[in-house]
Amino acid sequence: MVASAVTVSCEDRWQVYHRLQELDIDCECGSFQPLKANLQTPTEALQLWSIVRRISAPKQSLTAALDRSWKAPDAKRS
């Protein structure tokens, strides 16, 4: 088990905490304390990264990333 303290803005911290709870990832978030997640697998680490990115990144950045992924060549169609 790897414990990881995550620095997230106060208003975003509870959104991240609740999403981790929905995914059954062990975490705790006390008042005026950093969010702490106990990550068991690389998949859980990736899920944490994805949640934090989705919540904290500017929407313009997320939209641009989505547009790029749609334009990426699809090897299965070739």
- Here the CATH number for the domain that contains residue 48 is 3.30.1370
Within-domain flag for 20: yes
This prediction's pTM: 0.72
Within-domain flag for 23: yes
What are the structure tokens assigned to 26, written together?
Answer: 């062990």
Within-domain flag for 77: no
What are the structure tokens assigned to 62, written together?
Answer: 């997320």
pLDDT of residue 35: 87
Q: Per residue in 13-47, pLDDT tens?
A: 889 999 999 999 999 888 888 888 888 899 999 99
Within-domain flag for 78: no
Q: How far apart are CA 14 and CA 16, in angstroms?
A: 5
Within-domain flag for 76: no
Domain count, the chain: 1
DSSP letter string, the chain? -EEEEE---HHHHHHHHHHHHHTT--EE--TTS-EEEEE-SHHHHHHHHHHHHHHHS-HHHHHHHHHHHHHS--GGG-
Domain that holds residue 41: 2-69
